[in-house]
Amino acid sequence: MDTTELCFLPAVTLRDLYRARALSPVEVVDAVLDRIDRLNPVLNAYLTVTADRAREEARASEARWRRGDPRGPLDGLPYSVKDLEETAGVRTTFGSKWFEHYVPERDGVVAERLKEAGGILLGKTNTPHFGHKDSCDNLLGPPCRNPWRLDRTPGGSSGGAGAAVAAGLGPLAHGSDGAGSIRIPAALCGVVGMKPSFGRVPSHPNPDYWAARSHHGPLARTVRDAALLLAVLAGPDPRDPLSIDAPPEDYVAACDGPVEGLRVAWSRDLGSAAVDPEVAEIAERAALRFQELGCHVDSPPIRWPESRAFHQVLWEVGVASRHVDRARERPEWIEPSLMRMLLNAGAMSALEHGRALLARTGFYVAVREFFERYDLLLTPQMPLAAWSVVPGDEPREIGGRPAPTMYDRLAFTYPFNLTGQPAVSVPCGMTQEGLPVGLQIVGRWHADSLVLRAAAAFEALQPWAHLRPPVG
């Protein structure tokens, strides 16, 4: 097997080959690191590469597999960590000039669990300044690029993770999602990205536990790889007061269950979103294929309360409360997109913020009642394919309708951060330009296994892992 093929093998396949002693973690890590050396200068998917550490960990893993004593479910499997997660002894920038040379002394809980499971850290993936937007550029260097078209963004804020997985720069990637930041790059890069139920994966350290909107989760090329990573990340932690107090399920096994008879809703626009017609048609064809899986697919009207305005209040006040003091200290280290959020938040009143919190509760109630009638909701994941990589050159319309802000591109993502429901993005087709389109599968609160089962069933019906971007 040549080195390129090694770089695109699913993680579950790599694990089986290690167990059979037909492949070594050293071979795999060497192949992936060589590919990173060659392609990362073009893609900028990684901000930091931990090559020496990875090779040392690969040798230790190889010895454990020879003894028949693997350390955990990820033993010998290469992974990346988004650079918003602290990693002991490894530079953690948060995409920020303030932390350009910061090296933490401790791991975050995600990094802890990946290390304990025997995985091999390849490095830290690119992200915008504290993950504040849906593109992947910052003031630390060149923007991250989409491996399908280098003049396009991979999305954000887990853009480096999405680009790395799509380009064969590691089979497993950690991401985080506060308004779509796992699912956006998954859709735009043609990979799987799951935002689990809120609290399924604990968050620590966390400057704002009580915001209750940011989710850690997996990006991978296949559903079962994503399930494997989620099984390692999931489970309660006493340091996170909102983590779900229940052990993780066997999410890989959950992928094998039936989906016949499920009540599935399809929505082209969630009632009001602007959508590119080509993207909507690709996603709709994919959604209707769930009928072939034995599901009952319906297209009910969506009449949920308007959420864009109050979501913007919650997002921008949350961002500003964490970063406004730094902006006053060094305004030249604040990008225009972030500065706009800080200025907008400064003009909002406490009363507006309080009303936004109340509106979130009303929105959750409406969505919960909708899911009393349906097991799953399917939507386009993003309303358009990947746009320009140039900062400030974002689209100003979608499907012929004005779309002046980032929030117009997030109409299918942030609603389920507000409600905390599990949602996965799976590839479902390509545009005429050769850019990926994602289908979103949303489940009831805490129905993570069902969402993965539906995603795996669709993957079996319409596989995508054989598709590779032209880069490299």
Tell me the per-residue pLDDT of 122-171, one tens digit each, with 9 for 90 and over: 999 999 999 999 999 999 999 999 999 999 999 999 999 999 999 999 99
In a domain, 468, yes or no: no
- What is the mean pLDDT of the segment spanning 115-123? 98
Calpha distance 418→212 (Å, rounded): 8
- What is the mean pLDDT of the segment spanning 263-282? 98
pLDDT for 432 equals 98
Q: How many domains does the chain have?
A: 1
In this structure, the number of other CB atoms found within 10 A of the CB of residue 147 comes to: 27
Q: Cα separations (Å) of 97 from 40, 65, 104, 119, 140? A: 21, 41, 15, 29, 6
Model confidence at 257, pLDDT cuts 50, 70, 90, reads confident
In a domain, 470, yes or no: no
- What is the mean pLDDT of the segment spanning 249-262? 96
Residue 1 has pLDDT above 90, yes or no: no
Assign 104 to helix, strand or coil.
coil
316 phi-psi bin (left φ>0, alpha ψ -120 to 50, beta other):
alpha
Task: Give me the helix-helix angle, 11-19 and 223-233, nearest 10°.
Answer: 80
pLDDT tens digits for 307-339? 999 999 999 999 999 999 999 999 999 999 999
- What is the mean pLDDT of the segment spanning 261-290? 98
pLDDT tens digits for 30-55? 999 999 999 999 999 999 999 999 99
In a domain, 467, yes or no: no
H-assigned helices in 24-167? 25-43, 51-67, 109-116, 159-166
In a domain, 208, yes or no: yes
44 phi-psi bin (left φ>0, alpha ψ -120 to 50, beta other):
left
- What is the mean pLDDT of the segment spanning 179-191? 99
Q: What is the CATH number of the domain that holds 331?
A: 3.90.1300.10
In a domain, 38, yes or no: yes
Calpha distance 282→296 (Å, rounded): 19
In a domain, 448, yes or no: yes
Model confidence at 472, pLDDT cuts 50, 70, 90, reads confident
Start-to-end CA distance of the chain, whole Å, equals 17
Residue 59 has pLDDT above 90, yes or no: yes
pLDDT tens digits for 77-109? 999 999 999 999 999 999 999 999 999 999 999
- What is the mean pLDDT of the segment spanning 290-308? 98
Range of the domain at 379: 3-461
In a domain, 49, yes or no: yes
In a domain, 241, yes or no: yes
Q: Catalytic residue numbers?
A: 82, 157, 181
